[in-house]
Structure 1
């Protein structure tokens, strides 16, 4: 964030020539301020403090003088002097005086002759507020930091760095509405170095504010703006899965897998999406690929087992409802289902291995052995359930 220097003193002096004849104090203030600016430009602002103090003393007299107190030139210099005092001495009182000076000068400057110097005063005041915000941030006073950064934006509107810092401060303060407001201002600023981070984080802010619909909307925008970014793509997928839009993102997940084929989470998400679309075989295949990448991926093992078991359960329910089957046919088909469900066992056992006291996993494992009519194993697992409880 660069603040423009007060480079128009030749114009400022020329605009005030009639006033010079009326008041030596305004002339003194301008001369002292210009000397301070010269030293500041040379990197010696500390050496120029006496000039700045002299400018302050003179301009205070000028704003009280009947002949100069309604002159925009007087208030412009007053704003510049106090803005520099605030920045140099870190004094909020001078910052308030500078802000008052800017307001007064702006109101009096009907023909805009002092507009550029008024703008410079505002830029210096913006830098002061920015520095105040940084100091508050370092103390982890994020509420004050947000206020200071926002105040700086009053004088430096559209500054992307300031806007971003204000948003970050609001996030740290868990002030999600203001964080969202600041981040949304940055959406059009595609050249901003942190633009991608803003786009990816904005949906998270909406989630924190419990606005899932907007989170999904802006997640889609992020994925569209950065189609090759894994974080943006995965976030869009995850949010749609959360709200039940599984079928909608099957192709998105497959496209992302084509770019990142070793991402176990993507195969897990694909399994969820395919299962929701009633494509159980494809879901099981996806979960298996996730487990192949990470054998200890508990959720993928759990879902693989559950999908297999649920498929067998549905077939068993259909058999139980089919009154046309003979006992022989029924028993034959049940035996086939007992073989089919064996595919789930290694995944169930892995879940229990990873989570020995997981009562849901233990009950599922007991149910498996009950179906296989393995009384000894069923009793063993029941004992583990009892111990876990």
Structure 2
């Protein structure tokens, strides 16, 4: 009786082995003919039997499963994920067994897959299909976990799509991984076009230069993105109404990196978002002591001072911003706004005057003051428009001032420019 049971088991194992091989042959044949639906069907039939197979057959099964689900590449992210998982299992089995029959082919397929996925991610981004782009960048990261930049792109495109659940997941993952984005970007100039182009790696860039088609190779250091990542985590918590989580995220990051100016500014922005202007100002003033030559910090302090009615302080901050960066268009514009803001009291008094000789005399005095305000503001507005030639607001304000100060020729020229700018917007 015992012998009969052993024989029966042996027959069963033989039958299972035959069935496995038969289904895998069917799948292999279907893949070669491009019939991926039949291949997937055969793979699914073999799946329940594969647990009893040896390593050789398991490796083949997962290799074929990967090929069946990846098909020609134009498949869903879910199928791509199954393909990647299957290929990784096949490689793992071969590595353990010490026989690498499929590993080389898998590496080549995965390289092609990664290139295809990144192309789709870029295309989706250009077409403003941000969540599709995010999903593809996430898939690329899963294929190549050492390339955390792909996860960063997945997070930032999800933010653009305003999917804060997905973006928060990715940003927190990046933070926990210690990703900061520091590194180098590799550029070279295309001899045919004269344009500088970015390469995915220094090896590709150097190969392009060696080919003679590119010249002037440059390595450009990329700034840390850690502060941006933590700031975005905090801002997402804020948008969800979780103010405490937002502040906790900033506190942990700043405790770990007390001298990080980027984090200091990020916390200031979070405080401003929460409406804590006093704390924002404190942090920005602390930032200026750490980086006194930063024009943007001075400008931001000017904005807060102006909003708080501290006109002289705002003027001083804007002047410092301009001195540090003479090309800071917004600082010139805000200086003009600050100057023109003093006009309202004068206009109010002018409108309240009567028709007596004393009132007429006072009216002329006030009109001269208003003209002086306009003339003081004009150079700042003209510089702002020169630096930002498409600024409709600056052009509109200048046109009105030229009219009020009887500068007819300048008024006509600015009116024509304004009409041109407005036509360009339509």
Deviations 1:63-113 (A, max 9, x none): 97xxxx9xxxx86x85x66776689999557988x97xx9xxxxxxxxxxx
Aligned with 1:181 (options 154, 157, 169)? 169
Superposition deviation, residue 308 in structure 1: 0.8
Q: Secondary structure at the match of 1:261?
A: coil
Superposition deviation, residue 362 in structure 1: 3.3
Q: Secondary structure at the match of 1:287?
A: helix
How high is the TM-score relative to the length of structure 1? Answer: 0.54
Aligned with 2:412 (options 372, 383, 387)? 383
Given that residues 171 and 179 in structure 1 are in contact (C-alpha distance below 8 angstroms), is that contact kept between their aligned partners in structure 2? Answer: yes
User: Residue 386 and residue 188 in structure 1: after superposition, are their counterparts in 2 closer, same or farther (change >3 A)?
Assistant: closer
Given that residues 268 and 283 in structure 2 are in contact (C-alpha distance below 8 angstroms), is that contact kept between their aligned partners in structure 1? Answer: yes
Greater RCO structure (CA 8 Å; 6+ sep): 1
Aligned to 2:293: 262
Aligned with 1:146 (options 138, 147, 155)? 138
Q: Write out aligned runs for 1:151-300 (5 A).
A: 166=151, 168-169=153-154, 171=156, 176=163, 177-188=165-176, 197-198=225-226, 200-201=228-229, 203-204=231-232, 211=239, 217=246, 220=250, 222=253, 225-238=256-269, 246-300=277-331
Given that residues 254 and 260 in structure 2 are in contact (C-alpha distance below 8 angstroms), is that contact kept between their aligned partners in structure 1? Answer: yes
Aligned to 2:395: 362
**Number of aligned residues:** 291
Superposition deviation, residue 272 in structure 1: 1.1
Superposition deviation, residue 161 in structure 1: 5.0
Q: Provide structure 1 residue ranges, at least 5 long, that are not aligned to the other structure.
A: 1-21, 27-62, 103-116, 122-127, 154-159
Aligned to 1:137: 114
Superposition deviation, residue 277 in structure 1: 1.2
Q: Provide structure 2 residue ranges, at least 5 long, that are not aligned to the other structure.
A: 1-8, 14-47, 70-81, 98-104, 122-134, 183-223, 420-426
Structure 1 distance, partners of 2:110, 2:292, is 44
Tell me whether 266-275 or 215-224 shows the greater mean CA deviation: 215-224
Structure 2 distance, partners of 1:165, 1:131, is 20
Structure 2 distance, partners of 1:130, 1:305, is 61
Cα RMSD (Å): 5.5
Given that residues 284 and 304 in structure 1 are in contact (C-alpha distance below 8 angstroms), is that contact kept between their aligned partners in structure 2? Answer: yes
Structure 2 distance, partners of 1:81, 1:197, is 45
Structure 2 distance, partners of 1:83, 1:187, is 37
Higher strand share: 2
How high is the TM-score relative to the length of structure 2? Answer: 0.50
Superposition deviation, residue 384 in structure 1: 1.7
Superposition deviation, residue 233 in structure 1: 3.5
